[in-house]
Structure 1
Amino acid sequence: MPTFFLETDRLVLRAFTAADTDHLLALDGDPEVMRFINGGRPTSREIVETRVLPRLMRDHPCWETRGYWAAQEKTTGTFLGWFEFRPLEERSPAVVELGYRLNRAAWGHGYATEGSRALIRKGFTDLGVERVTANTMAVNTRSRRVMEKSGLCFARNFTGDWPEAIEGSEHGEVEYELTRTAWEQR
């Protein structure tokens, strides 16, 4: 597997390794980063090592590569967070879920949009993707704006099955999408 999955003007997306444990602890330990994920609770080292990292390091059979990528600032190598571009079905790359989780220092600099656009382009041109989907809480306006700036369009509101309610979950969730056909017409 290549060390770098994708490069943009300012980002490198690379495979996760066990050496990223402390980066993930810091990322998932920030209450603002986790606000729309679990209400702001930090993730323990045990959970990062036994659940989070194995999920981030898992290969998907239809691509024989990962679905989650560590994001680094290209010139400094600074860990910024991660991007998800994961097939929803094991054996088919047709529909993928786009996601991102960046540390607060990376917010407001366009990294989420830059990485998302690059993944979408790679998905439609190299990976056989037909539809990109992304979800967030309806009240997560920053994430919704990234989806829109990345070319995705609002598809629907829905109510997720949350194990426990967090602030804002009463407003439900939203799904955005972009098809290959719509992307090609832009």
Structure 2
Amino acid sequence: MPLETKRLRLRALTPDDLEHLVALHGDREVMTFITGAGEPREVVETQSLPALLRRRTWAIFHMATGGFLGWASLRIQGDEAELGYRLVRAAWGQGYASEAVRAVVGLGFGELGLARIWGQTMAVNSGSRRVMEKAGMAYLRTFHLEWDDPLPGAEHGEVAYALTRADWRAG
């Protein structure tokens, strides 16, 4: 069943979305804080798409134009889920990510009955941090991971955010 917001329509991601993902994941700027480089088609086809299909992942479309804007996902583990999202550059800075994430979080706590939703990003990724904050998620901690080939900014660490169902209901 699709989710709808004021400006967006979210529906289950399918293998038919491959071309959308090739363009999205192939954009080096979109992937700056993830891999530092765009993903080649073969990686999207054999790794990224299958991984997203194993999660609850929604393709995000603009309600008025029907244009593909990105995806949002919940990687469910018991009564918790890790939030993920990625949007095309043309959709950045317009509130679409926050709108989509709020819809997915609402579904996670409502229909799916999750107790907690969390996410993480590089500390220097201010855009992603803002999306999680606008979705009601609270900063938990900064932590440092070991990387063989760290991305620029990795020295500042990763940040974790989370929201519980009780806090979501109270908000």
Moved more, 100-109 or 18-27: 18-27
- Please report the RMSD computed on the Cα atoms of aligned residues, expressed in angstroms: 1.3
Amino acid at match of 2:131: V
CA distance in 1, matches of 2:21, 2:117: 25
In 2 relative to 1, CA 14–160 (structure 1 residues): closer, same or farther, beyond 3 Å?
A: farther
Deviations 1:25-50 (A, max 9, x none): 111121211100011x1111111111
Which of 29, 33, 48 matches 1:32?
29
Which of 43, 61, 69 matches 1:80?
69
> Is residue 71–residue 80 contact of structure 1 (8 Å, CA) maintained in 2?
yes
Which of 110, 125, 129 matches 1:125?
110
CA distance in 2, matches of 1:128, 1:166: 36
Q: Does 1:57 align with 2:53?
A: yes
Amino acid at match of 1:54: P
Deviations 1:51-83 (A, max 9, x none): 11111222xxxxxxx411111111221010110
Amino acid at match of 1:101: R
CA distance in 1, matches of 2:28, 2:50: 23
CA distance in 1, matches of 2:155, 2:132: 21
List structure 1 segments (4+ residues) > 4 angstroms apart after TM superposition: none
Aligned residues with identical type, % of pairs: 53
Amino acid at match of 2:38: P
In structure 1, runs of 5+ residues without a counterpart are: 59-65
- For normalisation by structure 1, the TM-score amounts to 0.87
In structure 2, runs of 5+ residues without a counterpart are: none
CA distance in 1, matches of 2:15, 2:167: 38
- The answer for the alignment partner of 1:68 in structure 2 is 57
What number of residue pairs does the alignment pair up?
171
- For normalisation by structure 2, the TM-score amounts to 0.94
CA distance in 2, matches of 1:179, 1:19: 33
- Alpha-carbon shift at residue 164 of structure 1 (Å): 2.0
